[in-house]
Each structure stands twice: as structure tokens, then as C-alpha cells.
A = this chain, B = another copy of it.
Amino acid sequence: MQDIQGYLAQHKDRFLNELIELLKIPSVSADPAFSQDVIDTAEVIKTRLLEAGCDTATVYETDGYPIVYAEKKVDPNAPTVLVYGHYDVQPADPLELWDSPPYEPVIKKTEKHPDGAIFARGACDDKGQMYMHVKALEFMTQTGQVPCNIKFMIEGEEEVGSANLATFVKGHRELLQNDIILISDTGMIANDIPSITTGLRGLSYVEVEVTGPNRDLHSGLYGGAVANPINILAQMIASLHDENNHITIPGFYDKVEELSTEERAEMAKAPFDKEAYKAALDIADVHGEAGYTTNERNSIRPTLDVNGIWGGYIGEGAKTVIASKAYAKISMRLVPHQDWEEITTLFKNHFESIAPAGVTVQVTPHHGGQGYVTPIDTVGYQAASKAYETTFGKTPIPQRSGGSIPIVALFEEELQSKTILMGFGLDSDAIHSPNEHFGVWNYFKGIETIPYFHKYFAELSQA
């Protein structure tokens, strides 16, 4: 493409500052306290998309947070790319673990980001990666080289399960019609090892409530005589894994795709340094399902993790109480072919069935989504691969990710188009954690690479 390096050098500070301004807005979709910020962010995105060159941009209301839709039409005969991203972010707590305030972005050098990284909630997931596409559009528009029609759909509920996106997609199939969907909401192996995510795990997220006695009780007068909801919840959670860390829910593995020895051997080629992995997390050893490697455990195998647990007295000091209720938030990562709604039902039935007399159990499904595997023999994948080759000088490695972007499966079903996952973040960027960050180098590398995707996708589509 015509002098993209020069354009980036010329506008570097502005491109950084625009992202920093975006990161200052705490658009936490999970917490109603931030609802106005989430809504404000949608308006900002709309404005930036118009400034970047979109012909039209609209904020669509939903039953939840709005969806920003915009488009740049260049030629009815050119292929159409639908860019998806999200402007909402994860909650920032625990706040005390942040080295700098989550909504006051700062740029600091790190071992993996010698050119500096932007530290802020949402820097990588997904404001930073989403905004790369906005700036790539600006470059293509300003230099008069927009090879595809480009549509943008930026939502505000990805971190809480995209509850209203399906309704929007089903209601706007024509508007959203496209030849390929492009998303930057994943990572790559390393700055010198580009990779394209070809698989995503599905998700089922539930909340459980265990109720014992109808009021908190004195543990001296009642201890040992009534079921303690916290002890019971602990026993029920513990029973969900066996000694090999297999999940014990009946039917849970029935539809799990078993990879061939060849496929596993291919996966094993991806570079992985177990010692470095353990050192980075300060853990003495890894932990997971018997018979699988770490890379397999967090990509091709389903998992069950408690994301939060609470009950009884959790204040300072001591309170000798038997709580009336105990709670947990539990999520299951699923692999292709496992249906998240079916798994949610299996969990609910099983969890309710193992509750002992003396407690009652309520399971409330939160949200979920299907897993996804994308083929690599498509025009879309080839265009992405060539784009990385051009800007990284290396062929990217196809990689399964352990994360979930439930809407990818939805898109394929509703819009009959494939999704290409061009992620520029690193697993070490601490998304969903304190001190989330996104490499400045990665941000600009993304902006540089994306126009080539559009270029090659147009060329290969018309070939």
C-alpha cells in the first residue's frame, strides 16, 4: 500500500491520544454504576467512525447497550468486509492490584513491549484492537485506497454475553450482508511469531445459590447439626472434577471433538516454554486434565472454573456463624460441537441432583455461546496470512484459542459468512486482569496490517 509507514509516523501521537481518550471512559457493561459511561462510549465510537471516513454511522438502541453500525461503500462490485468489535470492558476490580488507575492510561515499557505499552482497562480487550480498524480505515480513506466495502458493527455487551446482539443481527441480515467478517479480539503467540486464531471455545456461565437454614445461625448452637451451605457448596463444587481433573457432569464430554494424533502433533509444534509459563505466573506447577498438555488443556479441551464464590462472614475479624446462603459463579469453556445450552442444562440438572437433603439449590444460567473452528483454505484466511507475511515478514501460525467469542458462531449461522480472527495482543497483556495493557508496537502493527488484509481480500476475491 502507498506509504503506510509514513502516514503512521506522521500521525503517531494523534493515533495514540485518540485511543487514550477512549480508554478514559469506564465502559463496564457488567456494572450498572457505569451505564452512562457505556452509552457515552457508543456515541464517541460513532463520531470517530464518521471522522475516519465512514459514509454513515448509526447508534442502534437495543434492550441493553446500543450497537454502533457504520459503513464505507466504495464499489458495488467490490467484496464487503464486516468488522466486528466491542467498546465495553471488563470490571477493573480488584482495583488495589493496579499499579496505575485503570481509567487513567499510562505508557510504560515492559520486557515484552520494549517500545512501551498502554496500561488501562480495555487497552487490548477490545478498545485498542477495535480502534486499529478505525485508524486503518482513516489511512485507506485519506490515501484513496479503500479496496473493499467496509461495514462496522461495534457492540457494548460482549463482556456480559452479547445478550442483544443476536436479536440485532437477525433483524438486520440485509444491512449486515458481507463476504467476510473480520475481528481483532484475540491474541498472537509473540511479536515475532504472528498467528491467526482458527478455533475458539464456547462458554456456559451460570450462578449457583445454595440455601440451608432460613437465617444465619450461631455456629456453636447449630454447628454439626445442620447442613452448612458453604461446606455443602464446597463439596458440590469439588465433586465436579474427578482425581484426573475430568469433569464429572454426566454427558459433558459426549460431543467433544477428539483431535487426531496428527492434529495434536501439529499443535505441539507451536513454541511453548513451560518453565517460562510457570515463572510468569509464579506457580510451582501447571494443573489440569490428565493426558493433555497445557496448550491442549486451554484450547481443545473443555473446562469448568469457579469465577467467584461468596458466603457467610467475609469482613474483618471473626464471626462464628453458619450462613443461610452460599453462592458461586461458575463458567465452563466448551469446544466445538458442544452445544452451550445443552451443557447448561446438563450442569443445572446434575448440580441440583447432587444437593443433599438439608439444602436447596438454585442454578441461574447467565449467558453462553458456541465454540467455533474456522477453515484455513479460504480466501479470507489466505488474505489474512498474506497480510501478516507482508508486514511481519513471516507466515502466521494457525492457532486454537482458549477464549470465547460466542457471536462468531452466531454470525456464521445468521449471516452465512466466515470470520477471520486477526488478533494483535499477547496472552501476557493481562486482559480481564489488573494492569491490562496493549503494546504500542502491536497497536501500530495492527493498523499497518489491516489495510493489506482488505487489499489481498479484494484481489483474491476477484481472482
What residues make up the interface of A, taking CB atoms closer than 8 Å to B?
29-32, 90-91, 93-94, 97, 159-161, 187, 201, 203, 205, 212-228, 230-231, 233-235, 237-239, 241, 281-289, 294-295, 297-298, 301-324, 326-329, 331, 333, 356-360, 366-367, 401-404, 427, 430-435
Contact = CB atoms under 8 A, between A and B. Distances in A.
Interface centre among A235, A281, A284, A289 (most CB of B within 10 A): A281
B30 A216 contact: no
B281 A213 contact: yes
B297 A224 contact: yes
A366 B160 CA distance: 39
Interface centre among A223, A433, A434 (most CB of B within 10 A): A223
A322 B310 contact: no
Nearest to A367: B318
B319 A357 contact: no
When all copies of this chain in the complex are counted, the total is: 2
B307 A215 contact: no
A379 B222 CA distance: 31
A324 B238 CA distance: 18
B326 A225 contact: no
A160 B306 contact: no
Contacts of A320: 203, 205, 307, 331, 404, 432
A433 B223 contact: no
Nearest to A285: B357
Contacts of A217: 281, 432-433
Given A309-B309, A402-B224, A241 B237 contact: no
Nearest to A224: B303
Given A298-B221, A298-B225, A401-B221, A307 B322 contact: yes
A208 to B, nearest CB: 12
A313 to B, nearest CB: 4
A148 B305 CA distance: 64
